[in-house]
Amino acid sequence: MTHPTPIAREIQPSGPLTGRVRVPGDKSISHRSLMLSALAVGTSRIEGLLEGEDVLATAAAMRAMGATISRSDDAVWSVQGVGVGGLLQPATALEMGNSGTSTRLLMGLVASHPITATFIGDASLSKRPMGRVITPLSQMGADITSSPGGRLPLMLRGICPAIPITYTLPVASAQVKSAVLLAGLNTPGITRVIEPVATRDHSERMLRGFGAIVTVEASPQGRIIEITGEAKLKPQQIVVPGDPSSAAFLVVAATIVPGSDVVVENVGLNPTRAGLFTALRLMGASIEEQNPREVGGEPVADLRVRHAALTGIEIPPDLAPSMIDEYPVLFVAAAFATGRTIARGADELRVKESDRIAAMAAALGAAGARVEEVEDGMIIDGTGGDPLPGDATIATLLDHRIAMSMAVAALHCRKGNAGGAITLDDASPVATSYPAFFDQIAQLQSGGA
């Protein structure tokens, strides 16, 4: 895929952020809502779907494989499913854009259907490892021809019936777990995934919600998740909670910019996703949960965040899976803390939309932060709350979270004639997960409600 023309964007240091904003729908839950609705028999309705490029890639792929998907003017999505086993052969290659979640989960779905699909993506996605899903899906009988190194473009010939397997995850990855469970949906018998380290559990929760038989059991080897195949999924009315990974940028922005007092509404607080808020609180952040409730079977609250002085800590490595997408913005928070933050045990960051350890070390270093890149994370000596020098151009590397993290860092750089502004060489990747990001920051800068 050719990526749209880069859009450079300059971000100036900011005054206090105040007011309320509502974060958009959760990306992981949005993908799964579309996929499972497309496999149900009947029509599901989805409210609060994230309308970012990644999720739209999933919608387009499900349409290409037979689902009927439409959106009303008030942003409610309707999906008429084809039933488990009913996916059709797509007429052309599935364009995955920047989205690893679309690719890996859809590979799982296609693997146990008697169809062949070709997966293509942008330059970032085409560098990412797919071997981690190719291995288990091949064991289930799928025939996969990838580009060298197990990368996209790849062609996957599914098989029906596929073979149920027991698979122990070699990396802590919800995408790999989900790919195997989704393949198991149309596979006779029981497909089992053992995850030594718990990862986000949206697939398990939602598969159950749609009527599949899914059991989860704790064992000395880790969580054992079993799905009974040849499931019949029932259509659902889904309300997608707000994305904690998107809220993370606003929470860190309000924490580091002096004088800020912000309420971020509708934040999903599933414990497998909320590690950043735990880490920030350990560093001294002021994050108050208001109006706790349940949305779409997930715990949700509004977060009131006030500016606070942060102290560097050693980030507990066992938090890593529950904040894996939030490390880039945690590095930003640490850059303004007093003392040293050690964030390790996050090797998976190297295979995200970019190598997020190298990308953030380069970006924060260019903005004047004191950072040391280590193999599995970063060591950061903070400014003690002072602004960073800024005055840098940042390579965002087709990675939305690098772009948004450095946009947040830019808000607390030195003001005045000496510059201070941070320029993102390309802000367009933000549209993959959080199209309203810059507007919501502007809203908080003007104290918007």
Catalytically active residues, by annotation: 325
Of 33, 98, 175, 322, the residue at the interface with ligand S3P (CB under 6 A) is 175
Of 195, 348, 399, 426, the residue at the interface with ligand S3P (CB under 6 A) is 348
Torsion of Cα atoms, 251 then 257 then 259 then 265, to 10° = -20
Return the residues of window 181-200 that contact ligand S3P according to CB under 6 A. Answer: 200
The reply on whether position 399 binds ligand S3P by CB under 6 A is no
- 28 vs 383, beta carbon nearer ligand S3P: 28
Q: Give the nearest distance from C-beta 268 to ligand S3P in angstroms.
A: 12
The reply on whether position 174 binds ligand S3P by CB under 6 A is yes
Part of the chain binding ligand S3P (CB under 6 A), chosen from 78-86, 89-97, 174-182, 390-398: 174-182
The reply on whether position 432 binds ligand S3P by CB under 6 A is no
The reply on whether position 324 binds ligand S3P by CB under 6 A is yes
- 124 vs 175, beta carbon nearer ligand S3P: 175
Of 173, 191, 260, 322, the residue at the interface with ligand S3P (CB under 6 A) is 173
Instruction: Give kind and range of the element (H or E) at residue 357.
Output: helix 356-366
The reply on whether position 28 binds ligand S3P by CB under 6 A is yes
Q: Give the nearest distance from C-beta 197 to ligand S3P in angstroms.
A: 10
Q: Which residue shows structure tokens 């908080």?
A: 444
The reply on whether position 270 binds ligand S3P by CB under 6 A is no
Q: Give the nearest distance from C-beta 327 to ligand S3P in angstroms.
A: 10
- CB distance 238 to 33 below 8 Å: yes
- Burial (Cβ within 10 Å: 0-12, 13-18, ≥19) of residue 375: exposed
**Angle of the 327-335 helix axis to the 356-366 helix axis, nearest 10:** 30
Return the residues of window 97-116 that contact ligand S3P according to CB under 6 A. Answer: 101
Three-state SS for 97? coil
Of 53, 298, 302, 325, the residue at the interface with ligand S3P (CB under 6 A) is 325
Cα-flanking dihedrals φ and ψ of residue 47, to 5°?
A: -105, 145
Q: What is the DSSP string of 107-126?
A: HHHHHTSS-EEEEE--TTGG
Q: Which residue shows structure tokens 């910019």?
A: 257
The rounded distance, in Å, linking the Cα atoms of 195 and 308 is 36
Q: Give the nearest distance from C-beta 430 to ligand S3P in angstroms.
A: 15
The rounded distance, in Å, linking the Cα atoms of 374 and 389 is 23
The rounded distance, in Å, linking the Cα atoms of 118 and 110 is 10
Contact pattern from residue 197 through residue 236 relative to ligand S3P, giving x for each residue in contact according to CB under 6 A and a dash for the rest: ---x------------------------------------
Part of the chain binding ligand S3P (CB under 6 A), chosen from 43-51, 59-67, 106-114, 172-180: 172-180
Three-state SS for 325? helix
**Angle of the 244-256 helix axis to the 437-445 helix axis, nearest 10:** 30
Rounded (to 5) percent helix, strand, coil in the chain = 35, 25, 40
- 400 vs 412, beta carbon nearer ligand S3P: 400
Return the residues of window 37-96 that contact ligand S3P according to CB under 6 A. Answer: none
- Burial (Cβ within 10 Å: 0-12, 13-18, ≥19) of residue 5: exposed
Q: What is the DSSP string of 142-189?
A: -EEEEETTTEEEEEEE--SSPPP-EEE-SS--HHHHHHHHHHHHTSSS
Q: Is 325 annotated as a binding residue?
A: yes
- 59 vs 174, beta carbon nearer ligand S3P: 174
The reply on whether position 178 binds ligand S3P by CB under 6 A is yes
DSSP for residue 3? P
Size, binding site for ligand S3P by CB under 6 A? 10
Per the annotation, where are the binding residues for phosphoenolpyruvate? 27, 100, 128, 175, 356, 401
Give the residues lining the site for ligand S3P (CB under 6 A): 28, 101, 173-175, 178, 200, 324-325, 348
Per the annotation, where are the binding residues? 27-28, 32, 100, 128, 173, 175, 325, 352, 356, 401
Per the annotation, where are the binding residues for 3-phosphoshikimate? 27-28, 32, 173, 175, 325, 352
